[in-house]
Amino acid sequence: MVHNSRSLTKLVGELKKLPGVGEKTALRLAFHLMKSPANVSALAESLLEVRARVRFCSTCFGITENDPCSICTGDRDSSAICVVEESQDLLAIERSGAFHGRYHVLQGALSPLNGVTPAQLRISELMRRIEAGGVREVVLATNFSVEGEATALYLTKLLKPLGIRVTRLAHGIPLGGDLEYIDAATVQRAMEGRSEL
Amino acid sequence: MLGAMDYREADRLVTLFTLEHGKLKGVAAGAKRSVRRFAGVCEPFARLRLQIVLREGLSRLQGADLVTVFPGIRRELVKIAHAGYACELTDQFLPEGVSNPRLFRLLVSYLERLDGASFSASDRRFFEINLLKILGYRPALGQCASCGMELTGEEHYRFSAAAGGLLCSCCGRVGPSVSPQTVALLGRALSSGRFGAVTFQPTSLREAGTLLDEAIAGHLVRPLKSLLFLQELGE
């Protein structure tokens, strides 16, 4: 409770709900905003604009302001679809500039321990896109966690019978990585996935 | 590692089953950022050597060395689903802070079996009946759970989770039917002490499955989420 100011207490309470923001950080942010009124208006405007304009693309389920998004309507390779768990993963692959096809965001991953089943993900929408034709390769770019692996295995089971090329992102030693400090499981995977030079 | 979930910005909230201290809940601070301390370790089923500060409530993980992530399990969806089920079942049944080395060894053996051998539905039932035995919930198979009469193993019996076991033909009129062959296989699963020693044929597997599912459900506070996933896979 901030002394003598109910509205400031309320603001701190709202800021605390954000990920990674605790009591002290929330208080610091609140005081910073109070000292710069111009920033407050711009921030409030941005928040409302995002709320009003940003939505999920009805084709790939990535975030967009225009539906369908620019990736789904643009001049990209429509024969390859890269499947990711979340919109942030799509952005990470786009930043790399390594993929020129289209995307499909599952909006989660299968989780045996948390009871997340295929029906709760955008899997049926992915299958409909593939059944519509023209897709020759599906790149499974789910995370390398148990949930991500389970999702990739489940999708492989669905996609293989359709005669589509199903690929998985490579997994191993990071660029600049020192073998001495890499965990055993990663080294094991890297060794299994070694390629000829 | 029985389970892990994201907690705050970069932490993971973990449920551990340790040999020395039983089940513990803890926080791996910075687990999502610190590759050096927690690379690949905060993953369900992983077997670890832990450095942990024990506390009331949430303990604190200082670091962990990976023994194995059971790579063989992570290559097959059905194995992931069963490993998840085994971990959640153990988590649900175990109270916190009570050491249980026999159950620890049973769970590790099951995960090793899933990791190294071809998948067998019999192993799940072997795990379940032995888990119930270790925790003191073993269903009565040798005598009627109602009147105490010795069951000779020459006829079909009925099973009652409420009574805690099989019922003789006088006491049991309803409930799932269990053949003498299934009773004998469950008995062997309890005495053999080794995965792979008992293989249930389809009829026995179905009967043992019904019996054990009911016996387990009777002791649980809430349904298992991983069971939904298994059902989704047709298991």
Give yes or no: residues B61 and B158 share one domain: no
- Terminal CA-CA length for chain B: 23
The verdict on B96 and B195 lying in the same domain is yes
B77 has a chain A CB within 8 A of its CB: yes
The interface predicted TM-score of the complex, written ipTM, equals: 0.85
Confidence band, pLDDT 50/70/90 cuts, at residue B57: confident
Q: What burial class does residue B107 get, using C-beta atoms within 10 Å of its C-beta: 0-12 exposed, 13-18 middle, 19+ buried?
A: buried
Which of B51, B68, B85 corresponds to the end of one domain? B68
Residue A3 pLDDT > 70: no
Contacts of A124 (CB under 8 A, 6+ apart): none
- Position B38 scores a pLDDT of 75
Determine whether the interchain pair B8/A20 forms a contact, defined as Cβ–Cβ distance below 8 Å: yes
Name the residue with higher pLDDT: B159 or B7: B159
Residues B7 and B120 in one domain: no
How is chain A split into domains, by residue range?
7-53, 77-168
Chain B within 8 Å of A118 (Cβ-Cβ)?
Answer: yes
Q: Which of B68, B92, B116 is the last residue of a domain?
A: B68
Whether residues B179 and B163 share a domain: the answer is yes
- Tell me which of B16, B38, B68 is where a domain ends: B68
Taking only Cα atoms into account, the Rg of chain A, rounded to an integer number of angstroms, comes to 22
Residues B64 and B95 reside in one and the same domain: no
B96 and B193 belong to one structural domain: yes
Chain B residue numbers touching A115 (CB-CB < 8 A): 225-226, 228-229
Higher pLDDT, A183 or B134: B134
The yes-or-no verdict on residue A20 having pLDDT over 80 is no
Residues B103 and B59 in one domain: no
**Mean pLDDT score, A101-123:** 92
Residue range of the domain that includes B175 = 72-232
Residues A70-103 have pLDDT tens digits of 999 989 999 999 999 999 999 999 999 999 999 9
User: With bands split at pLDDT 50, 70 and 90, how would you rate the model's confidence at B35?
Assistant: low
| Statement to judge: residues B142 and B38 lie in one domain | no
Ranges A172-181, B95-104, B194-203: which has the least confidence: A172-181
Name the A residues in 4-63 with CB < 8 Å from any B CB.
19-20
CATH number of the domain encompassing residue B125: 1.20.1440.120
Looking at residue A43, its pLDDT comes to: 92
Q: What is the CATH number of the domain that holds B39?
A: 2.40.50.140
Shortest Cα distance, chain B CAs vs residue A188, angstroms: 9
Same domain? For B143 and B181 the reply is yes
Class of domain A77-168: alpha beta
In the predicted structure, residue B234 carries a pLDDT above the cut 80: no
Distance from CA of A107 to the nearest CA of B (A): 16
User: Nearest by CB to B80, which of A149, A183, A189?
Assistant: A149
HSE of B92, CA atoms in CB hemisphere, 13 A: 22
Averaged pLDDT, B47-74: 90
The pLDDT tens digits of the residues spanning B101-132 come to: 999 999 999 999 999 999 999 999 999 999 99
CATH placement of domain A7-53: 1.10.8.420
Residues A133-149 have a mean pLDDT of: 94
* pTM across the whole model: 0.86
Reading the block at residue B12, the tokens are 């993971």
For residues B43 and B89, membership in a common domain is answered with no
Mean pLDDT, chain A, whole residue set: 92
Q: Is the pLDDT of residue A184 over 80?
A: no
**Into how many domains does chain B fold?**
2
Whether residues B30 and B104 share a domain: the answer is no
Is the model's pLDDT at B99 over the cut of 90?
yes
pLDDT at A2 over 80: no
Residue A115 sits at the vertex; the CA angle it makes with A114 and A118, to the nearest 5 degrees, is 125
> Is the pLDDT at A51 greater than 90, yes or no?
yes
Residues B153 and B60 grouped into a single domain:
no
